[in-house]
Amino acid sequence: MRQLFYPILIGTMLFMLLPMTGSVLTLTAQATELRHDLDAPETSVEDQHGIVEEPGQAEEELSRQFRLGEPGISGVVVDRTITMAGKTFFRQFSQLSLDNPIIGNANIAIHERPSARWGSQIWITEGNNIIFEATMPPRLSEIDDYVEAAIEQVEELLIRRTIIQALESDPDLADEEI
C-alpha cells in the first residue's frame, strides 16, 4: 500500500508544481530520497548516532538547559501607565531604581488610572501586593517629589518584607505563586 500511495502523491504534487520548474527538480529529488528511506531497514536512534546515556545525564542536561537551580528573572519594572504624567513618573522611577540595589532586584509594575477631576492615581505593585499608592496632579513639574517618595517607600517596604520573610521562613511552606 505504501509503495502505491507515494508515487500517486508525488505525481499529484509534480502536476500541481509544474509551472514552477525550479521547484520540480528539488521535489523529485526529495521524493526519491523519501522512497529510499522507506525501503531501508529500520534502525534505532542509538544505532544511528551512537548515543549512550549514562545514569543522571538527562537530569543534568535539563538542569543546564532550563537553569532549574537558579531563580527566575528579577529586576523588571513593567509600565502600565497611560498619560504623559504617568509615563514621566515611570521613566524617572525606573532610572532611579536602576541605581538602587534593593529595588533593582524586585519585579514591580507601575499602574495608572487617569482622572480628569483628581489627576492620575498611581500605584506600584510587586506580585499581587500594592506597595505604593498616590494621586498625582496633572502638572509634570511636581512628579519629581512623587518619584522620590515612591522610591523611599518601596525600598522601605521591600527591606521590611525581606526581614520578615527571613525571620518567619518555614521549610514546609512554598513561596508565593503567581
> For residue 20, is pLDDT > 70?
no
Residue 65 in domain: no
Domain of 141? 77-167
Residue 59, domain member (yes or no): no
Average pLDDT of span 52-78:
68
pLDDT band of residue 33 (cuts 50, 70, 90) is: low
Q: Is 36 found in the same domain as 81? A: no
Grid cell, residue 99, equals 541605581
| pLDDT for residue 67 is more than 80 | no
In a domain, 69, yes or no: no
Q: Provide the pLDDT for residue 150.
A: 96
As for how many domains the chain has, the answer is 2
- Regarding whether 17 and 82 lie in a shared domain, the answer is no
Please indicate, yes or no, whether residues 24 and 86 belong to a single structural domain of this protein.
no
- The distance between the two most distant Cα atoms of the chain, rounded to a whole number of Å, is 80
139 assigned to some structural domain = yes
Strand partners, 119: 115
Residues 82, 163: one domain? yes
- Looking at every residue in the chain, the average pLDDT score rounds to 75
Task: Say if residue 157's pLDDT is above 90.
Answer: yes
Least confident of 37-41, 54-58, 115-119: 37-41
Q: Is pLDDT above 80 for 137?
A: yes
Helix crossing, 21-39 with 2-16: angle to 10°?
170
Q: What share of the chain is helix, strand, coil (3-state, %, to 5)?
A: 55, 15, 30
State whether 83 and 161 are in the same domain. Answer: yes
48 falls within a domain: no
- Whether the CB-CB separation of 80 and 97 falls below 8 Å is answered with no
Residues 82 and 145 in one domain: yes
Q: Output the pLDDT for position 47.
A: 52
Q: Are residues 32 and 84 in the same domain?
A: no
Residue 83 lies in a domain: yes
Predicted confidence (pLDDT) at residue 36 exceeds the cutoff of 60:
no
The answer to whether residue 11 is domain-embedded is yes
Helix ranges restricted to H, the chain: 2-16, 21-39, 45-49, 57-66, 84-99, 101-104, 143-167
User: Which pTM does this prediction carry?
Assistant: 0.57
> In whole angstroms, what is the distance from residue 12 CA to residue 3 CA?
15
* Pair 84, 158 in one domain: yes
Q: What's the confidence (pLDDT) of residue 116?
A: 84
Examine the domain organization and report whether 36 and 81 are in the same domain: no
How many whole angstroms separate alpha carbon 33 and alpha carbon 49?
20
Find the CATH number of the domain harbouring 136: 3.30.160
Whether 107 and 157 map to the same domain: the answer is yes
Is 154 within a domain?
A: yes
> Above pLDDT 90, what percent of the chain?
34
The C-alpha cell that represents 25 in the structure block: 527538480
CA angle 79, 104, 157 (to 5 degrees): 90
Q: Are residues 35 and 103 in the same domain?
A: no
Comparison of pLDDT for 99 and 52, the residue scoring more: 99
> Rounded to whole angstroms, what are the CA distances from 139 to 16, 27, 83, 84, 167?
66, 67, 12, 10, 43
